[in-house]
Amino acid sequence: MQSVQDLAAAVQRVIRNVESVIVGKAEAVTFTLIAVICRGHVLIEDVPGVGKTVLTKSIARSIGCSFKRIQFTPDLLPSDITGVSIYNQKTGNFEFRPGPIMAQIVLADEVNRATPKTQSALLEAMEESQITVDGRSYPLPEPFMVMATQNPIEYEGTFPLPEAQLDRFMMNISLGYPSPADEINILNSQQHHHPLEDLQQIMTAEELLEIQKQIRAIHVDQSIREYIVAITNATRHHGNIYLGASPRGSLALFRAAQALAAIRGRSYVIPDDVKMMVKPTLAHRIIVTPAARVRSVTSSAILDEILQTVPVPGAWVGGGKAR
C-alpha cells in the first residue's frame, strides 16, 4: 500500500492533467476527482458550452477508464440505457446486448429531459452497481461513475429529478463561465486542435481501485464525526428548510472529507476539510421552503449560516474550548 503522500501526488498529477484541458476550474476538477475516488456520482448543473462533457472525457482518459455518453431525450427508453436481449436464430438463444451504461465513466447528458421511467433506469445502476434486464442481473464494470448534466435555465419540456434521485448524487457542482483571461487561454489552446486530443493517461483503473480502498482508512476523529452529524442535523431543524439532508448526505460529507484530506497529503481529517465539502455534498439534498424561495434564500446561503452557528471541534468559543 502506498503512503498518503504518494496517493496525494498521484491524484494531483491527474488533477493537473485534467486542468490542461479544463482551464481555470481547479475547484470543480478537484471536487469531481474526489467523487471518483469516493465511488460517488456527480450532477453538474450549468449552462451549455462551459465544458461539462469535456471535463468528463478528460477524467475518463486521464484514469484509463472506458467512456460512454447518453443524450437524454423525451423518447429515450430504459432499454436504450441498460441494453436488450436479442434472439439469435442460429443458436436459438437470447443474447444480451449491453447498453451504454456498461462503461466505467458514463455521461448522462441533460438527464432531466428524459421521462421519469427512463430516469429511474439509472437508479439501480447508481446505487447497486448493476442492471437487471429480463430478470437477469449484470454487474457494472469497476470503477463505475455517472456524471449527469442538466441546464438550470431552460425548463420547458423537462422532467425535474425527484428528491430520491437527487439524493443518489454524491455531489452537485457548477463550472460557471471562465474569466476573460481564462477564456483567452481557451481560444489560444484550441486555435489549431483540441488539447483533449493530446491528453495522456496518468493512472490506470487498477490504481484507482486501490486508491478508492485506501481512502477509507483515513482517520476521522470522533469530534469530527459529531461535527458532520451536527451540520446535517441542523439542516433538518432550520426554519427556512422544508426537507433537510438525509443520512446519505452525512455519509457523503464524511467520505468527501476523507478524500480531501488524502489529496492534501494528510492521513486524518480536520474541520476545514468538512467545511470545504459541505456545499457540494449537501446543497442539492436540501429543499428550501416556498416562503424562503420568495425571499431568494438559497440552500447554499443557509449552509453558510449553519457553518457559522455549529461549533467547530477544537475552537475556542466564549472563553472555553469546544469539543
**Class of CATH domain 1-217:** alpha beta
Range 218-312: architecture per CATH = Orthogonal Bundle (1.10)
Instruction: Dump pLDDT digits (tens) for 189-218.
Output: 888 888 888 899 999 999 999 999 999 999
| Helices and strands of the chain, counted as H and E runs | 14, 13
- Give residue limits of the domains in the chain: 1-217, 218-312
Dihedral class, residue 274 (left if φ above 0, else alpha if ψ from -120 to 50, else beta): alpha
Bridge partners (DSSP) of residue 97 are: 84
**Model pTM above 0.85:** yes
pLDDT at 125: 87
Residues 232-272 pLDDT 10s:
999 999 989 999 999 999 999 999 999 999 999 999 999 99
Name residues of the chain where pLDDT drops below 50: 316-320, 323
Cβ contacts of 65 within 8 Å, gap of 6 or more: 59, 103, 104, 105, 143, 205, 208
